[in-house]
Structure 1
Amino acid sequence: METDPGTDDAGLIRRLAMGDRVALASAFDRFAPTLTRYAWAIAGSRQDVEELVQDTMLTLWQKADGLQLPTGMLLPWLLVVCRNHAKNLARRNTKHAGDELPDQVPAPGDHTDAAEQLRWVRAEIAALPDTDRRICELCLLQGYSYAEAAQLLGLSVGAVTQRVSRSRRRLKKAVTHDEH
């Protein structure tokens, strides 16, 4: 029996706001795979990816008490937080190289900010051919394995792998160029 993801996210946020460590573990289990895939698209090393995921989950833990998700969806907010942490990491790395840049980009305060900042990501995904778009949604956003997506869409795992790779390159280019 499937539950409404919006209800799950809202309930998870309430539990996190009450300091429920089991809820934090549940959030990590649920969102870390997607955050990890996203972080690989914008980070330079395994260490950076791990740091981005940890920092994103820590931000969730710290901000859960005041977090408002009008549509009940947590993932867009998490992706923006991860992206902001990646920017901060790049700034720190650049600063260590001698450039003076600010240390922090604030995390989005609410879902509206997150949705607006991810508008361009959604536009990039929407511009993909239908099959690629659906694969991207399943594998990169919803956390399905390539085998599960292949089965759902009637494709081979190799075809899904190639399409994800192509879509990831396109999204990485959009993210790293920050033209939006």
Structure 2
Amino acid sequence: MPGTDDRDLAARAASGDQDAFRAIFRTHVKPVYWIAHGILGSPADAEDVTQETFVVAWRRLPGLELVNDSLLPWLATICRFQAANRLRVLRRDRRNTADAVDETVADTVSVEDQVITATLAERIATEVNLLDDVDRKIFALCAVEGYSYQAAAEQLGISHAVVRNRLSRVRTRLRGAAGEVRDA
């Protein structure tokens, strides 16, 4: 469903449209996973928290009033809460068992890191929304859904070189936006 905006997908998913929710999942699963991984540092825990994030989102969609055109900031907030809950459980389990769960689990969740992560997600979502239609579709297909350049080119009816060059410019733009957040 490239080109369908989050507002429309959210409204359809809130009314029970599972295909719309699948499109939301495909669009946002990678950024949500990386937010969880950044907090937890464990791929397995990040996968669990990502799944929990989308379960919570599915339940809460009917009452959602979307304030901008992207669901990513809302999903990032849910993810951060789920990750914080996971950290509490891991620390409790570590205290209550003879076998340490994982010594790499952080003792605290940095509020500054959470703010930076949320700000970064919002900034990237804003930049993606500012892209022209073709660039947004290329980004959605290649960076979000994992299409090869050739598959995206065939899907959009453009050349492999156009996809490669435009995606390169989009990534450079997003890296610049991410750098602005980190430098702020």
What does 1:1-180 correspond to in 2, within 5 Å? 3=3, 8-98=5-95, 120-121=115-116, 125=120, 145=143, 151-152=168-169
Query: What amino acid maps onto 1:152 in structure 2?
Result: R
Asked if the contact 1:80–1:118 (Cα under 8 Å) also holds between the matched residues in 2, the reply is no
With structure 2 as the length reference, what TM-score do the two structures score?
0.55
Aligned to 1:107: none
Q: Closer, same or farther in 2 for the Cα pair 1:79/1:12, shift >3 Å?
A: same
CA offsets per residue over residues 130-150 of structure 1, 9 Å max, x none?
Answer: xxx98xx67xxx8774x7787
Cα deviation 1:115-162 (Å, max 9, x = unaligned): xx999327975xxxxxxx98xx67xxx8774x778720697xxxx7xx
Deviates more, 1:87-96 or 1:34-43: 34-43
Distance 1:149 1:119, change over 3 A: farther
Letter in structure 1 aligned against 2:168? Q
Structure 1 segments of 4 or more deviating over 6 A? 147-150
Cα deviation 1:79-109 (Å, max 9, x = unaligned)? 111111100000111121237xxxxxxxxxx
Does the CA-based 8 Å contact 1:35-1:79 persist in structure 2?
A: yes
Distance 1:17 1:123 in 2: 23
Contact 1:76 1:118 in 2 (8 A): no
User: Structure 1 length as normaliser, TM-score?
Assistant: 0.56
**Residues 46-70 of structure 1, C-alpha deviations (whole Å, 9 max, x = no match):** 1111111101111110000001112
Which secondary structure state, in structure 1, belongs to the residue aligned with residue 95 of structure 2? coil
Aligned length: 128
- C-alpha spacing 1:31/1:98, structure 2 compared with 1 (3 Å): same
How far the C-alpha of 1:12 sits from its partner, in A, is 1.1
Is this contact kept in 1: 2:53–2:78, CA < 8 A?
Answer: yes
In 1: Cα distance, 2:118 partner to 2:31 partner: 19
> Structure 1 regions of 5+ residues with no counterpart?
100-116, 126-132, 172-180
User: Using the alignment, how far apart are the partners of 2:166 and 2:37 within structure 1?
Assistant: 20
* Higher-Rg member (1/2): 2
User: For structure 2, which runs of at least 5 residues remain unmatched after alignment?
Assistant: 97-111, 129-138, 144-163
Fraction of identical pairs, as percent: 28
RMSD value, Cα: 3.9
